[in-house]
Amino acid sequence: MELRSHVGHRESVAANAPLEDVHKRFAETGRDFLAVLEGGKLLGVCARREIAMQLGARFGFALFARSPVREHLMAAALRLSEDSPLPEALASVSARSDKSFYDDVLLVDAAGGFIGFILVHALVRLQTDLLLGNIAALERSRQEVAEKNRAMEDDLLMAREVQLAMLPSGGADLGPRVRWRFHSRYAPAGGVSGDFFQLLPISDSAAGVLVCDVMGHGVRSALVTAMIRAFSEDLRSLAGDPGALLTRLNQGLMGVLRQAGKLLFVTAAYAVVDGDTGTVCYGQAGHPTGFIRRASGTVELLPVDDDVAGPALGLIDDHAYTSGRARMAPGDAAMLFTDGVFEVRNAEGEEWGQERLRAEVSGHALLKGEELLAAVVSAAGSFAAGGAFDDDLCLVSLATGP
């Protein structure tokens, strides 16, 4: 905003004018400050109060009445250049001492020439207007941010609902001919999750379950889970071979993630349970090793060795994942999970850990399916400080038998 537009008066006197005449000029104009000019050039400022004190002192009139005003200039009058930024100008005024705060402010041009005086109350009013304008602008910005946050929350809520809708439901009645049963427990730590699982029915006797954990959290990770679901649906012809499925998933993800230009990887485990052959076939990509939970309650690690335990998906382009096999009896179940289940910590910072998870699964010999998963999640939550999971939680079970 241009400072020149706030000039309140341009009253001045000649530098050789006697104090008696200057005093009269103050009375005529009603001003408290006058510019002192010599040949049009600004010398300084004279103040009514100082001249009145000099003339009113004992013998003051006799001594100074004919004295030229150039000899009675103010020692420190605030000068502002017309091209000064308004914030700097207001800061200079505010920085003055209480004694001089209400003095008029001298405005000069770039060459130091006299333009006029700005009354301090005009600057105070201007600062008030600016503050009110800033408050209004901040309120508008706050409302805009709040509206954008509401829209983002709505989008995240929809994304969460869509992500949950993509997940298979566990425990559904699949009919007497189906010789496998699937159960799950899933809880995102935030609005959307980087954990994901997919059930791939193969036949009445066989099905595969894929569990993934995308690096990080939030929308980016959730988008990768959507890609994994799409890829796994396209690769249903490979659903019976964990190694082949993980190999092709890795190739598909590498093709997409390479274009993103940022490091992003996915850990995954895939198990195929076949009730007719009595086997479980298993592959792993940088993921926590799953369990075989026997009908008796004992727990074994799924078949995994150096050939089966491959790197996380999205890291090595041409890695060929392989599979391992184990026997499965009726009532046995393959259990897969993400690290959010066992990495919970108590108030002392101690991790629950995979050994406690394994012991908890083994300790409920009479529980199966949904009841077993619920008991495990409850135990982990009871161990956690505050009973809350800091990470996404995913725990699934694929069992043999009708």
CATH number for the domain spanning 187: value is 3.60.40.10
Regarding whether 64 and 179 lie in a shared domain, the answer is no
Regarding whether 102 and 214 lie in a shared domain, the answer is no
- Out of 118, 153, 182, pick the residue that ends a domain: 118
Q: What per-residue confidence (pLDDT) applies to 123?
A: 76
3-state secondary structure 77-115: CCEEECCCCHHHHHHHHHCCCCCCCCCCEEEECCCCCEE
Regarding whether 222 and 334 lie in a shared domain, the answer is yes
137 falls within a domain? no
CATH number for the domain spanning 59: value is 3.10.580.10
Regarding whether 113 and 189 lie in a shared domain, the answer is no
Q: What per-residue confidence (pLDDT) applies to 36?
A: 92
Regarding whether 336 and 212 lie in a shared domain, the answer is yes
Regarding whether 103 and 244 lie in a shared domain, the answer is no
Q: What per-residue confidence (pLDDT) applies to 232?
A: 87
- Out of 118, 133, 155, pick the residue that ends a domain: 118
127 falls within a domain? no
User: Identity (one letter) of the amino acid at 153?
Assistant: E
Regarding whether 221 and 320 lie in a shared domain, the answer is yes
Q: What per-residue confidence (pLDDT) applies to 121?
A: 79
Q: Is 306 exposed, middle or buried (0-12, 13-18, 19+ CB in 10 A)?
A: exposed
Regarding whether 218 and 95 lie in a shared domain, the answer is no
Using an 8 Å Cβ cutoff, are 182 and 171 in contact? yes
Q: What per-residue confidence (pLDDT) applies to 139?
A: 77
110 falls within a domain? yes
* Total domains in the fold of the chain: 2
Q: What is the residue range of 102's domain?
A: 3-118
Q: What per-residue confidence (pLDDT) applies to 286?
A: 93
- Out of 118, 141, 157, pick the residue that ends a domain: 118
Name the DSSP letter for residue 388: -
Regarding whether 379 and 253 lie in a shared domain, the answer is yes
Q: Is 83 exposed, middle or buried (0-12, 13-18, 19+ CB in 10 A)?
A: exposed
63 falls within a domain? yes
Per-residue pLDDT of the chain (402 residues; tens, 9 = 90+): 478 888 888 999 999 999 999 999 999 998 989 999 998 899 999 998 888 888 888 888 888 889 999 999 988 888 888 888 877 888 887 787 878 777 888 889 888 899 999 888 777 777 777 777 777 777 787 787 777 767 655 555 555 555 555 566 655 546 567 888 899 988 777 666 678 888 999 999 999 999 998 887 666 777 787 788 888 889 999 999 999 999 999 998 888 777 666 678 899 999 999 999 999 999 999 999 999 999 999 999 998 776 788 999 988 888 999 999 999 999 999 999 998 888 888 888 889 999 999 999 998 888 888 899 999 988 988 888 766 777 778 899 999 876
309 falls within a domain? yes
Regarding whether 352 and 265 lie in a shared domain, the answer is yes
Count Cβ atoms below 10 Å from residue 172 Cβ, excluding itself: 12
Q: Tokens standing for 223?
A: 């988008």
Task: Give the predicted TM-score (pTM) of the model.
Answer: 0.63
Using an 8 Å Cβ cutoff, are 219 and 162 in contact? no
Count Cβ atoms below 10 Å from residue 334 Cβ, excluding itself: 26
155 falls within a domain? no
159 falls within a domain? no
Regarding whether 172 and 27 lie in a shared domain, the answer is no
Cα gap 68→35, rounded to integer Å: 14
Regarding whether 324 and 242 lie in a shared domain, the answer is yes
Q: What per-residue confidence (pLDDT) applies to 247?
A: 95
161 falls within a domain? no
